[in-house]
């Protein structure tokens, strides 16, 4: 079966990774997926043999209706996956123009399909895929879709390899006897983790000396010097470091961490770092943002704090500093939930069900990761 994935990506790497993960599963299931993009998204490893690029173009369905490259890929496909609203419009137009009978699947990464025009178009879509149950609940009534016409498919977040290492402790001068908090995410200029620094400043002197906070992310995405200056202003700089580690160092950082921390005001759609913590057996403290409450069952599998509650965040940090049994219990529960509901095998099973629902049944290959 030939499958086309078409997307107009330009900003977030997570969108491309989501697309690549789905296509990899489909290839493993014995199908032939092709990825068609407008250009190379930034900072992505392009070791993807089944990807095609339209150089120097944007996938704008008004301009590309007669594009020979598009026509070539549309000609023999069985299913088309669209990731943005313009791509969906293009696919539906070409399906009608070429009088093809392929299936159309729309993954709702954007929300524009809920407009008046979008409601009409939604009737021509064979399946809708939502990123979470929360989004399906919000949009299904607006789109007036039947439950059987949609699926929820989280991204594929394979178990993250984590390993302890004394080398990383020496390199970044991390106190070995401290409770180590890992804040692993990339912060935008408008979303710097100052709330976390404020919460740290509320800790008692005793708890402060027992802890250590590792802020890891890309320096170009958040202003490192500004954070260092703010940490000094709050008098917490002696127990905080701000690093931009190499990719190969992340397994060691995760193996070192006692607690994961993700406190952000940004609406989270792709909770990759949370699943990394869960798969490594690291208890997490997270802000109630986006689909977090759907993943974390507080306090069994993590601790959820309201976004503006810095005092509550400080209390949660202190509790995990002083209660090792609580950290162990949360980590154990979180890992069990990850393996049951968000593992690679679960993602593969859900992807297979989606293809089967479209009438394309194929036996799964016996391949594991």
Give the tens place of pLDDT for each residue, 172-211: 889 988 999 999 875 544 456 788 999 999 999 999 999 9
H helical segments located in 123-158 = 133-143
Per mean pLDDT, which of 37-46, 161-170, 256-265 is the most reliable? Answer: 256-265
- The two structure tokens encoding residue 91: 């696919």
Q: How far apart are CA 314 and CA 308, in angstroms?
A: 12
Q: Which of 366, 368, 362, 367 is nearest to 30 (CA)?
A: 362
pLDDT number for residue 364: 42
pLDDT number for residue 211: 96
Mean pLDDT throughout 18-32? 86
> Among 30-39, 215-224, 287-296, whose mean pLDDT is lowest?
215-224
CB atoms within 10 A of CB 150: 20
- For 304-321, letters b (16+ CB in 10 Å) and e give bbeeebbeebbbbbbebb
Residue ranges of domains in the chain, CATH in brackets: 2-156+343-357 (3.40.50.2000), 166-342 (3.40.50.2000)
Higher pLDDT, 13 or 1: 1
Spell out the residues 6+ positions from residue 364 whose beta carbon is closer than 8 angstroms to its own: 28, 29, 348, 352
Burial class (CB within 10 angstroms; exposed 0-12, middle 13-18, buried 19+) of 181: buried
Q: Which of 16, 207, 237, 235 is nearest to 109 (CA)?
A: 16
Q: How far apart are CA 66 and CA 231, in angstroms?
A: 56
Q: What is the pLDDT of residues 253-264, one digit of tens each?
A: 898 999 999 887
Q: How far apart are CA 141 and CA 128, in angstroms?
A: 13
pTM, to two decimals: 0.79
Q: Half-sphere exposure of 164 toward its Cβ, with a 13 Å CA cutoff? A: 7
CB 62 within 8 A of CB 34: no
Q: How far apart are CA 348 and CA 350, in angstroms?
A: 5
Res. 288 pLDDT band, cuts 50 70 90: confident
User: Over 80: is that where the pLDDT of 367 sits?
Assistant: no
pLDDT number for residue 116: 53
Per mean pLDDT, which of 89-93, 137-141, 151-155, 312-316 is the most reliable? Answer: 312-316
Mean pLDDT throughout 242-255? 85
Which segments within the chain are labelled E, that is strand? 2-7, 32-37, 51-53, 79-82, 103-107, 127-130, 150-152, 179-184, 211-216, 240-243, 259-262, 284-287, 303-305
Using a pLDDT cut of 70, give the percent of the chain over it.
74
Q: What is the pLDDT of residues 56-109, one digit of tens each?
A: 444 454 455 555 666 677 778 899 998 887 778 878 888 887 788 899 998 887
CB 285 within 8 A of CB 196: no
pLDDT number for residue 89: 80
Higher pLDDT, 298 or 79: 79
């Amino acid at each position: 079966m030939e499958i086309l994935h078409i997307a107009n990506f330009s900003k977030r790497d997570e969108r491309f990774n989501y697309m690549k993960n789905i296509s990899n599963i489909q290839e493993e299931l014995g199908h032939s997926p092709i990825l068609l993009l407008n250009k190379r998204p930034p900072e992505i490893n392009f070791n993807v043999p089944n990807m095609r690029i339209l150089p120097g173009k944007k996938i704008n369905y008004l301009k590309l209706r007669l594009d020979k490259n598009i026509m070539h890929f549309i000609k023999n496909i069985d299913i088309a996956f669209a990731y943005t609203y313009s791509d969906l419009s293009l696919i539906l137009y070409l399906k009608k123009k070429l009088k093809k009978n392929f299936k159309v699947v729309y993954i709702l990464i954007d929300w524009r399909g809920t407009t008046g025009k979008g409601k009409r178009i939604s009737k021509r879509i064979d399946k809708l895929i939502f990123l979470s149950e929360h989004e399906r609940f919000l949009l299904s009534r607006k789109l007036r879709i039947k439950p059987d016409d949609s699926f929820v498919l989280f991204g594929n977040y394979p178990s993250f390899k984590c390993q302890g290492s004394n080398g990383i402790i020496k390199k970044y001068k991390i106190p070995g006897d401290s409770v180590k908090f890992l804040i692993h995410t990339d912060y935008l200029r408008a979303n710097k983790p100052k709330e976390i620094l404020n919460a740290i400043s509320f800790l008692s002197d005793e708890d402060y000396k027992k802890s250590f906070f590792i802020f890891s992310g890309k320096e170009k995405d958040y202003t490192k010097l500004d954070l260092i200056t703010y940490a000094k202003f709050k008098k917490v700089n002696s127990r905080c470091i701000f690093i931009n580690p190499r990719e190969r160092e992340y397994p060691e950082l995760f193996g070192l961490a006692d607690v994961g921390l993700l406190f952000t005001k940004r609406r989270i759609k792709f909770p990759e770092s949370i699943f990394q913590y869960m798969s490594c057996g690291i208890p997490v403290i997270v802000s109630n943002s986006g689909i977090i409450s759907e993943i974390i069952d507080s306090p069994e599998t993590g601790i959820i704090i309201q976004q503006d509650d810095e005092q509550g965040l400080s209390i949660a940090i202190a509790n995990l500093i002083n209660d090792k049994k609580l950290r162990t219990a949360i980590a154990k529960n979180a890992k069990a939930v990850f393996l049951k509901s968000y593992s690679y095998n679960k993602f593969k099973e859900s992807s297979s069900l989606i293809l089967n629902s479209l009438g394309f049944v194929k036996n799964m290959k016996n391949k594991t990761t």
